[in-house]
A and B are shown apart, each in its own frame.
Chain A
Amino acid sequence: MGLYLLVRAAVLVVSTAVASVVVFAVMAVLPGDPAEVALGVNATAEAVAAKRAEFGTDRPLTTQFLDWVSGLPVGDFGVSYVTSDRVGPQIVDRLGVTLWLVLFGMLMAIVVAVPLGTAAAVRHRSVGGLLLSGLSQLGVAVPAFLAGILLVFLFAVTWQALPSGGYTPLREDPGAWFQQLLLPSLSLGLVQGAVLSRYVRSAVLDVMREDYIRTARAKGLGLYRALWKHGARNAAIPVVTVLGLQLATLLIGAVVVERVFTLPGLGSLLLDGVANRDLLLVQGTVMVLVVAVLGINFLVDVLYALLDPRLRGAR
C-alpha cells in the first residue's frame, strides 16, 4: 500500500513536469508578440524592443522556461504582461469562483444521480425504471451550455426568480452569492447528474445481485435498507471513481458555463488571457487546470485503493 502510493506520487511528479514542458512549448509557438499586442498598432521598433526587454521575452526560451518553472512550486507564476500584476494571486482569486461552481455542481449531480440511479436500478424491469433511464439518457445528450441558456431563459428572464448571471463574493453578500451560483451549478449539475446516474444504476444493479443482499433480504430487511446497510460501500467504489473523473470534466465544463453566466472564474480568465496574448497568465491557468486534473486522478487512485481491499495487496 505504502509502496503503491509512493509510485503513484512519483508518477504524478513526472507527469506534472512533462505537462509544464508541454504547456510552455505550446505557448512559445503561439503567434502574436505580447509586446506588440500591448503597444498596439504602429508602434516603433525601438518601443517594441524595449517592451520585450521589460517582459523578458527577448531572452532564450530555455532561460524563460527555467525562470518560469522554478517559480511554480512556490506559487510564483510570474507577472502578467497585460495587467502588470502577479499572476498567482489572480489565479487564486478566480479559482475561488470556479471551485464553488464545481463544488455546487458536483453536489447537485450527486443529489440528482443517487436517487435517480438507485430507483432506476431497483425498478429496472418496470416501465418506470425504463422511463428513468430514458430521462437520464436525455440529460446526457443536452450540452451544459444549452441547459444554461434554457435555465436563464426560464428562471431569470421569464419568471424573474433568479439572477441571470454575475458573481458577488461570499464575503460581500452571502445571499446574492448563493443565488448567483444556483443556476450555473444547476446547469452543470443536471447534465453531470444524468451521466452519473447511469453509473449509479449499473453499480446498484451489480450489488443487488450479490449474495449478501439476497441474504439480508431473506432475513426480512427491505430492499432499500438492505442496499443502504450492506450495498452502499460496494456500490460506492465504481461511483467514486466516476465521480473523480467527472470532477475533471466539471472543471472544464465550468469554462463554458462561466461564459453563459458571466462568472469571473478560471475559464473566463483563460479565454481573456488567450485573446490578450497574456502568455504567462494563460500558461499559469492551463497549468493549474492540468495539475488539478492530474491531482484529482491521483486522489481517486488513493481513494480507490482505500475503498477496495483487493487493491491494497497489489504491488
Chain B
Amino acid sequence: MTALDNLPATQRGRRRRRRVNPSMMVGATLVTLVVLAALTSFIWTPHDALHVDAAHRLAPAFSDSFVLGTDKFGRDVASQLMVGARTTLFVGIVAVGVAAIIGTPLGVLAGMAGGWLSEVVMRANDLLFAFPALLLAIMLGAVFGASTLTAMIAIGVATIPAFARVARGQTLGVMHTEYVLAARAAGRSRLAIALRHVLPNIASILIVQASVSFAIAILAEAALSFLGFGTRPPTPSWGRMLQESQELLFSTPRLAFLPGLAIALAVLGFNLLGDGLRDWLDPKLREHR
C-alpha cells in the first residue's frame, strides 16, 4: 500500500440520513445549464457561431441581436459560448469515459486479485500518474498534430490512475462483505462476482469520481487550448476563446471575462455535484467499509 492508495476524501460527512444538500442542488443546476446550452446549440444558436462579419466586429453587448456582443471577427459571443459548451462536454465525456473504461476494470482486478498482480497493476498505475495530462498532450500533439482528439485522449489516459485507485479501494471493502463471501462460497466465478456484486456496489463512488474528474478535464482542456495544444480553430472552445481575447483584455474585457466565467462555473458545477453526491451517497458507502 502506498500513500497514493490512501488519498483522503474531502468533505467526509457523517450524516446518517440521505438528503439533497445545497452543494448538490447548486452543482446540478450549473451542470444542467451547461448541458442545456450545449444541446440547444445543436438545433439553434442566436447566430452562426463561425460567421465572420467585419461590419459587426467588437459589437457591444445587447447591440442589434448580439446579446453578449461580438468578438474581433464579428462572431456572436453567445453562440460561440453555446457551441463551446459542446466542446467542453465532449472533451469531458470522452476523457472521463476513457479513464473509467480502462481504469475501473484495472482497479477492480487489483482489488479482487490481490498479491503480486495487484501490486503490478497499481505500480503501473503510479507510473502512469507520473505522466500528467499536459505532458501527454504535448507529446501526442507533437506526434499527431494537436486537436480535440489528442487533448481528449491525453486527459483521459492521465485520469486512468484516479479511477483505478478509487475502484481498487472500494473493491477491497466490498470483498469482505457477507454477500461477496457468500457468492464465493457458492463457487461463483470471479467474473460473475465482479459483475454482479462488486461493480454495482462501487458504481456510486465511481460516479462521484467521474464528476470530479470531469471538472479536472475541463480545466485541462482550457489550459491545453491556451497553449495551442487543444481544439483547432475555428471550432469554439472556451479555452481558446480566452486565449484569443487576451489581447483585448484592456479594451474589451468582456471577451476574456465571459469564457473565463463559463469555465469557472462549469468546473464549480461539476465539483459541487461531486461533493454533493459523495455526501448523499455516504451513509450507504459506510456500511460496506
Contacts and interface: CB of A to CB of B under 8 A. Distances in A.
B267 A140 contact: yes
Contacts of A145: 222-223, 226
Contacts of B134: 252, 255-256
B167 interface: no
Interface in B247-289: 249-250, 256, 260, 263-265, 267-268, 271-272
A207 B6 CA distance: 17
B131 A290 contact: yes
B186 interface: no
A18 B267 contact: no
A149 B253 CA distance: 12
Contacts of A138: 264, 268
Contacts of B133: 252
Contacts of B249: 149, 153
Contacts of B11: 198, 201-202
Interface stretch (B40-48, B135-143, B193-201): B135-143
Interface stretch (A44-52, A159-167, A169-177, A296-304): A296-304
A245 interface: yes
Interface stretch (A71-79, A181-189, A214-222, A236-244): A236-244
A73 to B, nearest CB: 18
A245 B4 contact: yes
B219 A297 contact: no
B3 interface: yes
B266 to A, nearest CB: 8
A82 interface: no
A15 interface: yes
Contacts of A290: 130-131, 135
B3 A141 contact: no
A81 interface: no
B54 interface: no
Given A141-B265, A141-B271, A242-B7, A293 B12 contact: no
B142 A30 contact: yes
Interface in B23-57: none
Contacts of A140: 215, 267-268, 271
Contacts of A201: 10-11
Size range of the interface on B?
A: 35 or more
B242 interface: yes
B2 interface: yes
A293 B130 contact: yes
A268 to B, nearest CB: 11
A23 B63 CA distance: 52
B9 interface: yes
Contact of A304 (B3, B138, B226): B3
Interface in A290-315: 290-291, 293-294, 297, 300-301, 303-304, 311, 314
Nearest to B259: A146
Contact of A286 (B123, B139, B223): B139
Among B3, B8, B130, B272, residue most surrounded by chain A Cβ atoms (within 10 Å):
B3
A60 interface: no
B129 interface: yes
Given A142-B264, A202-B11, A203-B8, A241 B131 contact: no
Given A137-B272, A202-B11, A256 B129 contact: no
B138 A143 contact: no
A271 B228 CA distance: 11
B263 A15 contact: no
Nearest to A198: B10
B233 interface: no
Contacts of A294: 126-127, 130
A14 B9 CA distance: 29
Given A141-B264, A252-B134, A252-B135, A202 B215 contact: no
Contacts of A314: 1
Contact of B12 (A30, A202, A297): A202
A274 B126 contact: no
Nearest to A257: B223
A142 B268 CA distance: 9
Contacts of B4: 241, 245, 297, 300-301
A213 B249 CA distance: 51
29 contacts: A8-B2, A15-B123, A19-B130, A31-B143, A138-B268, A140-B268, A141-B215, A142-B264, A144-B223, A146-B242, A149-B246, A199-B10, A201-B11, A202-B8, A202-B9, A202-B10, A241-B8, A255-B227, A256-B226, A256-B227, A270-B138, A290-B135, A293-B130, A297-B2, A297-B3, A297-B4, A300-B4, A304-B2, A311-B1
8 tightest A-B CB contacts, nearest first? A238-B8, A141-B267, A304-B3, A293-B130, A141-B268, A141-B264, A252-B132, A198-B10
Given A26-B143, A301-B4, 11 more contacts: A11-B123, A15-B130, A19-B130, A19-B131, A145-B223, A201-B11, A238-B8, A241-B6, A245-B7, A294-B126, A294-B127
